[in-house]
Structure 1
Amino acid sequence: MKYFLLVLALMFSSSAVAQDFQPIFNGKDLSGWTIHGTEKWYVEDGELVCESGPDMEYGYLTTDRTYKDFILTLDFKQESNGNSGVFIRSSVEGIKVSGWQVEVAPPGSHTGGIYESYGRGWLKQPAPEDEKALKTGEWNRLRIRVEGDQVITWLNDEVMVDLTDEKIGDATGSIALQIHSATEGNEVKVRWKNLRVKVLE
Structure 2
Amino acid sequence: MQLKSYFCLAIALCLFFESQYGAAEDNWIELFNGKDTSGWTNPYEWGQAEVVDGEIHLTADKKFFLVTDREFGDFVFEGEVKLPEGQANSGFMFRCHVEPNKVYGYQAEVDGSDRNWSGGLYDEGRRQWVWPSLKGRTTDEKLLEYEQESHDYFKRPEVAKAFDRDGWNRYRITCKGDSIKIEVNDVVTTDIHDDVDSQGPIAIQHHGEKGQTYKFRNLRVRELE
User: What's the counterpart of residue 132 of structure 1?
Assistant: 161
Q: CA deviation at 1:9?
A: 7.3
Structure 1: runs of 5 or more not aligned: none
Pick the aligned partner of 1:72 from 33, 52, 77: 77
| Map 1:35-184 → 2, pairs under 5 A | 35-37=42-44, 38-51=46-59, 53=60, 56-80=61-85, 81-107=87-113, 108-125=115-132, 127-129=154-156, 130-168=159-197, 171-182=198-209, 184=210
Q: 1:70 to 1:131 in 2, by over 3 A?
A: same
8 A Cα contact 2:92 2:203, kept in partner: yes
8 A Cα contact 2:78 2:220, kept in partner: yes
Q: CA deviation at 1:14?
A: 5.0
8 A Cα contact 1:83 1:188, kept in partner: no
Pick the aligned partner of 2:219 from 175, 195, 200: 195
Task: Decide which moves more: 36-45 or 145-154.
Answer: 36-45
The SS at the match of 1:79 is coil
Q: Deviations over 1:152-175 (max 9, x none)?
A: 00001000011211213xx32111
The SS at the match of 2:161 is helix
Say which structure is richer in helix.
2
8 A Cα contact 1:66 1:174, kept in partner: yes
Distance in 2 (CA, whole Å) between partners of 1:10 and 1:45 is 38
User: What's the counterpart of residue 147 of structure 2?
Assistant: none
Q: CA deviation at 1:13?
A: 5.3
Q: How many residues align?
A: 191
The SS at the match of 2:38 is coil
Of all paired residues, the percent bearing the same amino acid is 34
Work out which of the two has the higher radius of gyration on C-alpha atoms and give 1 or 2.
2
Runs of at least 4 residues of structure 1 off by over 3 A? 5-15
User: What's the counterpart of residue 137 of structure 2?
Assistant: none
| TM score, norm. by length of structure 1 | 0.85
Q: CA deviation at 1:120?
A: 1.1
Task: Decide which moves more: 116-125 or 143-152.
Answer: 116-125
RMSD: 2.2
The SS at the match of 2:25 is helix
8 A Cα contact 1:180 1:188, kept in partner: no
Structure 2: runs of 5 or more not aligned: 1-6, 133-152
Q: CA deviation at 1:192?
A: 1.1
| TM score, norm. by length of structure 2 | 0.77
Q: CA deviation at 1:16?
A: 2.5
- Residue identity matched to 1:17: A
8 A Cα contact 1:58 1:95, kept in partner: no
Q: CA deviation at 1:181?
A: 2.4
8 A Cα contact 2:55 2:215, kept in partner: yes
8 A Cα contact 1:82 1:189, kept in partner: no
